[in-house]
Structure 1
Amino acid sequence: MERKSVETRNSFTTPRPEVKESKVVPMQVQGKSMITANTAPFKLVVIEPKGFDECPKLVDNLKAKKPVIINLEKIETDIARKIFDFLSGATYALNGTVQKIANNIFVFAPENVDIAANVEHKGIDFSGNPKSPWR
């Protein structure tokens, strides 16, 4: 009697089909690129600054195309105003945007980041009014 050898294949010996490299390119939307599956990890800086001296580091993050969320709830009103003004000016100079998230919490985004917010925008009042977002 003749013996036939039967070859069994499993996932280790079965050849896999050749996978071609995907050519995904970012889409342009109004001059800004959308995040695609093949992009590097997205970094977001969240900080509760203790003083004005932290502002240059925050601007460095904006220059490096990283959005910054700042929480100014636990800082003195005058210093919070200075930090906000400094970051607002830097964001404007970098063609970015500022969005209020909640009282004393803001997103400063460089031009490569779109902020899609469904938050009612209330004016920012630095007058010392008790209803000011700084209080």
Structure 2
Amino acid sequence: MSKLVDKLLGVIGVEVEEEEVMEERDVLPAERDGFIRNKKSNLVGLPTQRPTTVMLVKAKSFDEAESIARQIKERRSLIVNLEEADKEEAQRMVDFLSGTVFALDGTVQKVAFGTFLFATSNVDVVGRILEDEKETPISKLMPWTKK
């Protein structure tokens, strides 16, 4: 019967506002782990440097210099022991390997008698073993050069 009254009032020009009835629903809270599982992650791996490797080498002849230089070219630092090498060959090896390290912006440091550290540019060498190394004559750094 309310429909008939509404139509009659509508013809007369009287509008009746209707109340909107909203249904109440029980809303359960969504369980969350703190992560959105359905979305892809936008993580991108950052490039990292390989771990620095220091190789220990005991060289006896100049024939080994080329393989040692290849290791330096592959960004590996070396500690080279030349104690058992002939004096002239040891001098040639130090010169050759020093040139290789220099070309790669590395450093050379004497560690002990006849033993040298050839460090590539990705290795920081801190400290000095020899005192006043800058003032040390070459004959003390490389005793086989003495005549």
**TM-score, structure 1 as length reference:** 0.62
> Gapped runs of 5+ residues in structure 1?
1-16, 27-37
Give the equivalent residue in structure 1 for 2:39. none
Q: Deviation per CA, 1:8-61: give whole Å up to 9, x if none.
A: xxxxxxxxx98xxxx9x89xxxxxxxxxxx764431111111211111111111
Q: Deviation per CA, 1:78-121: give whole Å up to 9, x if none.
A: 11001011001111111110011111110011111111123122
Which whole-Å CA distance do the structure 1 matches of 2:80 and 2:127 have between them?
16
Residue 132 and residue 53 in structure 1: after superposition, are their counterparts in 2 closer, same or farther (change >3 A)? closer
Q: Does 1:83 align with 2:93?
A: yes
Which whole-Å CA distance do the structure 2 matches of 1:109 and 1:53 have between them?
21
8 A contact 2:73–2:100 mirrored in 1: no
Displacement of 1:124 in angstroms is 2.4
Q: Percent identity?
A: 34
Runs of 4+ in 1 over 4 A off after TM superposition: none
Partner-residue secondary structure (3-state), 1:125: helix
Which whole-Å CA distance do the structure 1 matches of 2:128 and 2:105 have between them?
22
Question: Radius of gyration: which is bigger?
Answer: 2
Q: CA RMSD in A?
A: 3.1
Q: Deviation per CA, 1:60-85: give whole Å up to 9, x if none.
A: 11111110110111111011001011
More helix by share: 2
- What is the number of residues matched between the two proteins? 103
Residue 52 and residue 115 in structure 1: after superposition, are their counterparts in 2 closer, same or farther (change >3 A)? same
> Gapped runs of 5+ residues in structure 2?
1-33, 36-43
Which whole-Å CA distance do the structure 2 matches of 1:101 and 1:95 have between them?
19
**TM-score, structure 2 as length reference:** 0.58
